[in-house]
């Protein structure tokens, strides 16, 4: 049977593409190498009674039009805002909590610096203004960096640290905000381009408020499950356990895919949700693409340095001076817990990794969804998701081994234990995902969580285009604008281009 479109990969973007293509009446088959659809946006059950958002854990960028046009809420998608949003702790027992309550924020900040009370609001307003501009450009069919305002361009090309330090003097507050500029990125907050990464993390509107983040009931896999349900309801087929070994090319056009078991599937168009390196260097037959394009692929910066550690805890972490169940947090445990005392701490952490070794003092972003969604853990237990940097894929002391993984996890637990001393003894299970594990499990190239850096030179028109040089082959994953995070936009843009072209085939 000839399909209109075959989609390589059932990441959330591949599923968005499938839903839009099927909705337009096209016959669509999605083939996914794993047994589970969702890519890096999944809920899994590593231990009996636990539901873990294995990779991505919080939601902001999922485009509101995708949520409403595909009616995702009718298929079980339900996100709720984290509030307070951020809780940054210091080793001396002091801490800073920020959230949507403006007066509470002003009181918190005044304890550190009177000047920062207004400085924080001006900083936040400036970030939100540029992030809103970014949001408006995220779904462009032909993104152009130069169309952004001069102020946004200068923020995006500069460093997160420079931007934040312009408004704020308190180190812990500077670091809490600037750390958004290094998420998933192999660069320090003082490095050029991390201003863009920061804006990217404030660009979402899934929770109805510019830049707000939230949890998804049932974990992030509920997004992918809803997308798969919509796509199949519209007539698309999703086949898991079906790895593509090569793209079929016929008469200078993409003509389908061959699976690892030898099955050939023919189609008028192929959309790849796989990353650019996998798509162009592995799946497209050699000799098909020209040398200049292949140079862009080989120069693509996609070395990962993020490690995800999922911990099953027997009890909630206890931080000096604040109770996760008490007044200070206003809602139990919903805030992101940052271990990031100041910007220089983050920059030092990066410098270790730039020399090829894990950070001696890592940056940690910790999330506790179980206080607000107890269905994810056995009664009384809590899941702590820790996103840690920097743990480079390529280590100067030789490849990752299981003992290096255990050492990395020990370091992270010990680091957190300095702030919440009960954590080490409360750990009942742990799941360690170093960059090579992210590569093996999710096919993320070199473990890069965004299919490649979101830094200048790899954003807007410098990211890979949806239409590839091979007619009939489209990219519909994070390697295309606007890049990584659970937004669905690359899938939507990919489907749109494919639909336009199919009308003429």
Ligand X SMILES: Cc1cc2nc3c(=O)[nH]c(=O)nc-3n(C[C@H](O)[C@H](O)[C@H](O)COP(=O)(O)OP(=O)(O)OC[C@H]3O[C@@H](n4cnc5c(N)ncnc54)[C@H](O)[C@@H]3O)c2cc1C
Shortest gap between Cβ of 210 and ligand X (angstroms)?
15
Smallest gap, in angstroms, from Cβ of residue 99 to ligand X?
A: 18
> At closest approach, how far in Å is the CB of 429 from ligand X?
18
Q: Which is nearer to ligand X, 41 or 459 (CB)?
A: 41
Cα(145)–Cα(60) distance, integer angstroms: 22
Stretch that binds ligand X, among 152-160, 316-324, 444-452, 458-466 (CB under 6 A): 444-452
Count the neighbouring beta carbons within 10 Å of the beta carbon of residue 261: 9
Q: Among 3, 23, 26, 33, which residue interacts with ligand X (rule: CB under 6 A)?
A: 33
Quickly tell me which residue has 């370091």 as its tokens.
Answer: 411
> CB of 305 within 8 A of CB of 336?
no
Select 174 or 278, whichever has its Cβ closest to ligand X: 278
Q: How far apart are CA 480 and CA 458, in angstroms?
A: 9
As measured in angstroms, the least distance from the Cβ of 55 to ligand X is: 4
Sheet holding 427-433, edge to edge: 95-98, 86-89, 336-339, 363-368, 382-389, 306-313, 427-433
Does 8 help bind ligand X (rule: CB under 6 A)?
A: yes
Q: For 471-494, give the DSSP string.
A: TTEEE-STTBTT-SSS--HHHHHH
Coil, strand or helix at 331: coil
Minimal CA–CA distance to 124: which of 180, 177, 172? 177
Q: Which stretch binds ligand X (CB under 6 A): 55-63, 64-72, 122-130, 342-350?
A: 55-63
Binding pattern for the stretch 12-31 against ligand X, x by CB under 6 A and - elsewhere: xxx----------------x
Torsion of CA 289, 295, 298, 303, to 10 degrees: -130
Give the rounded distance of the alpha carbon of 443 from its chain centre.
Answer: 14
Site size toward ligand X, by CB under 6 A: 39
| 486: contact with ligand X by CB under 6 A | yes
The phi and psi torsions of 253 (rounded to 5 degrees) equal -130, 155
Which residue in 346, 392, 376, 451 sits closest to 13, CA to CA? 451
Binding of ligand X at residue 364 (CB under 6 A)? no
Q: Does 58 bind ligand X (CB under 6 A)?
A: yes
41 contacts ligand X (rule: CB under 6 A): yes
Site map (CB under 6 A) of ligand X, residues 446-485, x = contact? ---xx--------------------------xx-----xx
- Contacts of ligand X in 245-284 (CB under 6 A): 273-274, 278
11 touches ligand X by CB under 6 A: yes
Q: Which residues bind ligand X (CB under 6 A)?
A: 8-14, 31-34, 39-41, 55-58, 61, 243-244, 273-274, 278, 306, 308, 387, 438, 442-444, 449-450, 477-478, 484-486, 490
């Amino acid at each position: 049977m000839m399909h209109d479109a075959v989609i390589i990969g059932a990441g959330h973007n591949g599923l968005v593409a499938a839903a839009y293509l099927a909705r337009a009446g096209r016959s669509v088959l999605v083939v996914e190498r794993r047994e589970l659809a969702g890519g890096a946006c999944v809920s899994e059950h590593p231990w009996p009674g636990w539901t873990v958002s294995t990779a991505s854990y919080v939601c902001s960028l999922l485009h509101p039009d995708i949520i409403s046009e595909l009616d995702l809420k009718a298929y079980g998608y339900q996100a709720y805002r984290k509030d307070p949003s951020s809780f940054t702790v210091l080793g001396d027992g002091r801490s800073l909590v920020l959230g949507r309550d403006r007066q509470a924020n002003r009181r918190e900040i005044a304890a550190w610096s009177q000047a920062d009370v207004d400085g924080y609001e001006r900083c936040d307003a400036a970030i939100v203004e540029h992030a809103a501009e970014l949001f408006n450009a995220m779904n462009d069919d032909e993104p152009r960096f130069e169309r952004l305002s001069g102020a946004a361009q200068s923020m995006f090309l500069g460093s997160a640290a420079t931007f934040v330090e312009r408004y704020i003097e308190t180190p812990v507050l500077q670091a809490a905000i600037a750390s958004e500029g290094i998420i998933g990125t192999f660069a320090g907050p003082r490095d050029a381009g991390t201003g863009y990464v920061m804006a990217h993390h404030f660009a979402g509107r899934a929770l109805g408020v510019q830049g707000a983040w939230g949890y998804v009931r049932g974990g992030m896999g509920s997004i992918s499950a809803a997308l798969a349900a919509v796509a199949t309801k519209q007539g698309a087929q999703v086949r898991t356990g079906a790895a593509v070994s090569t793209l079929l090319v016929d008469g200078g056009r993409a003509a389908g895919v061959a699976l690892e078991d030898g099955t050939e599937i023919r189609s008028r168009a192929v959309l790849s949700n796989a990353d650019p390196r996998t798509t162009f260097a592995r799946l497209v037959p050699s000799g098909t693409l020209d040398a200049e394009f292949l140079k862009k692929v080989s120069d693509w910066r996609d070395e990962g340095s993020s490690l995800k550690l999922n911990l099953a805890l027997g009890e909630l972490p206890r931080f000096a001076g604040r109770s996760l169940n008490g007044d200070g947090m206003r809602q139990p445990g919903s805030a992101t817990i940052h271990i990031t005392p100041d910007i220089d701490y983050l920059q030092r952490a990066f410098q270790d990794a730039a020399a090829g070794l894990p950070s001696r003092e890592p940056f940690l972003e910790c999330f506790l969804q179980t206080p607000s969604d107890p269905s994810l853990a056995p009664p009384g237990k809590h899941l702590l998701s820790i996103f840690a940097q920097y743990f480079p894929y390529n280590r100067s002391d030789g490849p990752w081994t299981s003992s290096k993984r255990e050492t990395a996890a020990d370091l992270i637990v010990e680091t957190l234990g300095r702030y919440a001393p009960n954590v080490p003894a409360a750990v009942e299970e742990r799941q360690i995902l170093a960059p090579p594990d992210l590569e093996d499990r999710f096919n993320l190239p070199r473990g890069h969580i965004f299919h490649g850096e979101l830094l200048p030179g790899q954003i807007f028109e410098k990211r890979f285009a949806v239409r590839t040089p091979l007619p009939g082959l489209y990219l519909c994953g994070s390697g295309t604008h606007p890049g990584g995070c659970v937004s669905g936009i690359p899938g939507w843009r990919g489907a749109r281009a494919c639909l336009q072209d199919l009308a003429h085939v």
